[in-house]
Every structure is written in structure tokens, then in C-alpha cells.
Structure 1
Amino acid sequence: MITLNINKKNYKLDADPETPLLWILRDHVGLVGTKFGCGVAQCGACVVHLDGEAVRSCVTKASRAQGKKVVTIEGLSEKNNHPLQKAWLELDVSQCGYCQAGQIMSAAVLLKENKNPTDEDINDAMSGNICRCGTYLRIRDAIKLAAKENI
């Protein structure tokens, strides 16, 4: 039995603490916005926040999340109105959309740490997030747009 705080709500779960956090979120809690991409922390589709840090949930054991705050794409904002979510929509960033939750979650940590990132800062911070559709330029533009809202 493990207890996790996910999106400001506590969950008591009958799950092996060695289970990757991704599968706890998707299979035990029903939060499916976080995606499975590669399973080896290479693509970024599964990024969530763990006490404000961007982590790859496919390789983060549930035991590591105990006593910490987990935030998923569903918990980033109550009404899907986080500046990044609004910028993503305004600039029509998504193509297939599969990687976008992970992209947004990584970008949110970037903007929390750097309120006015340069192109190089964005490229460096987002380099571990793969978009098979190649929307990288729109992603960078959306991050810049969201930064103007002073997150």
C-alpha cells in the first residue's frame, strides 16, 4: 500500500512501490494525459512534476513519489488555462498531440526557473522531449508567448 499526493489529492493505492509512476497514474488513478512513449526516459512524453521538478514518470518508481507532490498535465491548471496551455492553443502547436502533455510539463518547469528564456535556453531545456511531427518551432514560439504572461 502506498499513498501519493497527485494533483493536490491523496490516493491510497494497493500497488507495488517499485511500479513506475506512469502506470500508477494511468492504470491505478485513471489520469491518462501522461503518455507512454518509450519506457526508457528518452522521449519525454511521460513528463510530470515531482515537487516542482520535471521527471520521466516511466522510470520514476512510485516509492520515490511518496511524501512528495505529483502534478500531471491534468493538474497543471484547474480550467486548462495555464499560460502554456493557452499559448499552445493560440499558436496551434499540436499536430498529432501525443507528446504535447510532456512538452508542456517540461516547458512549465523551464518557465518557473527562467521567466525570460532565450531560444538557446528553450532548445536546451526541451532537447529531451521528442516530437515525431516536428512542431519544435511552434513549441518554442508558444513557450515565448507564455513567458510574456510572466508565469
Structure 2
Amino acid sequence: MTDSQPASQTTHPLDDTDKRILRLLQIDARMSITELAENVNLSATPCARRIKRLEDAGIITGYHTQTDAEKLGYPLAIFIAISMDRHTAERFEQFEKRVQSFDEVISCSIVTGRSEDYLIKVRVRDMAHYEEFLLHRLNRIEGVAQVHTSFELREVFSRSIV
């Protein structure tokens, strides 16, 4: 790592075994070390060491349960592009803190290449739920100047990088 490169942007070389371990854990994070080791042709101890190294390097950042939003009663996925009235660190920090507190928001990114500043993805039960979210919470965040809504028709796929 060089002085000019932030720690969050450093890359760590991965061999084919590391990549196979990551792919398998992304498919089933509950896979036992023994089963994982068998699948990558290692014994359990070296496999566990590799996983620990990937965790320590910040490549594996956690283990999560994937859920089916539709079966949980949140079938409507919406992308909302948001423009802020001022571009100050304080305004952005305030917005990010507030929007992170909304359970409906499943992702939030600062974006470039468009007139909006943020792109968030939300999950709601129905249009009435979306209307309540938009009018009574999102639009009431200080600094939100404009919102542009796009409804997801169907997610084609979603995956992690490996």
C-alpha cells in the first residue's frame, strides 16, 4: 500500500483456491469448514486459515442471511434518485444518517454522471406504503430538493464480485 492509496482501496491478490472459497461461501455461508475444504481440495486447517486471512484483509466483511422480500410482504422495489439543495459535507452527512434509519432503504449510493446526488433502493408493501415513505419521511429530510422514482419491473440478477 502506498501513502497515496487509502487502505480501503488496496487490493489483495487472490489465487484460484481463494476465489473458489469465496464463491462457495457466497452460495452457502453456512457450509462447514470440512465441507468447504473438501470442495477446494484442502484439509480443514489450511482452509480455515485462508478464510481467516480473507476476513482479516477485509475481503470477507460478514455473513448474511438472504431473504425473499416478496415472501416477507415487500414485493415493490423502487429506485429513487435524489438531488440535494446544497453540496456540503454537513448536508450529505445529515441526509445519509437519516436515510440509513429507514428500514425500507436497502441501499444508498452517491452517484455521478447524472443530475441527482444519490440513488437509493427501497422495498415497500404497496403504493400506499411508498406514498407514506416518500411524502412523510424522505421528502421531509432537510436538503432534499428533488426526487425521481423508477419502479423495478424485475431483478434480472444480483451477485457479488469474485
Fold agreement, TM-score > 0.5: no
Q: Greater share of strand residues, 1 or 2? A: 2
Q: TM-score, normalised by structure 2?
A: 0.28
Structure having the higher Rg: 2
Q: TM-score, normalised by structure 1?
A: 0.29
